[in-house]
Amino acid sequence: MKNYTIEIKWALVYVIISFIWIFIQKYLGFFDENISMHLFFSVLIVIILIPLFLLAQTDKKKNFLNGKMSWKQGFISGGIIIVMATLFVPLLQYLTYEVINPDFFSKTIALYTQSGKMTAIDAATRFNLKSYIIQGVSDSLSFGIIFSALTAFFTKSK
């Protein structure tokens, strides 16, 4: 377990940042009056997550690998971080859409159906908690693996 304390720390940082991001979205109205921009704003968290992966891999390199890290070691470390963080995605999605903003799906469905972008059935199929949990897990893993690969390239020393 000691071998993974850095990954556990950074996975928790990732989850905390994601939770803070939810409140930033709520405060800025992306669950209410600016709901049409919610998807765009949600993607902007990438601006924070890429440096987070760089910091995590630098931490692993400096404090566990004695300043020498291969691309593979960085990639594996990042992969472990993202897998651990992804375990919290269902909880974060539940808190976001059932506790913090329980009207989000009904508002989003109304937005897409009233604008003619989707039928009510299609919108209800896409905008629901189960769909968002599946999408959140998938996005977290896929983007996390990509970020791990990219940042490992920049933090490698071997």
pLDDT tens figures, 86-114? 999 999 999 999 999 999 999 999 999 99
Q: What is the identity of the amino acid at 97?
A: Y
Q: Find, among 86, 96, 91, the residue nearest to 14 by Cα.
A: 86
Evaluate if residue 76 carries a pLDDT over 80. Answer: yes
| Predicted pLDDT of residue 158 | 62
The DSSP H or E segment spanning 27 is helix 5-27
Evaluate if residue 37 carries a pLDDT over 70. Answer: yes
Maximum alpha-carbon separation in the chain: 58
Q: pTM of the prediction? A: 0.89
Average pLDDT in the chain: 94
Range of the domain at 82: 2-155
- Rounded CA separation 57/74 (Å): 6
In the chain, the number of structural domains is 1
| Range with lowest mean pLDDT among 26-35, 52-61, 73-82, 118-127 | 26-35
Q: What confidence category does residue 1 fall into, taking pLDDT thresholds of 50, 70 and 90?
A: low
| Predicted pLDDT of residue 3 | 86
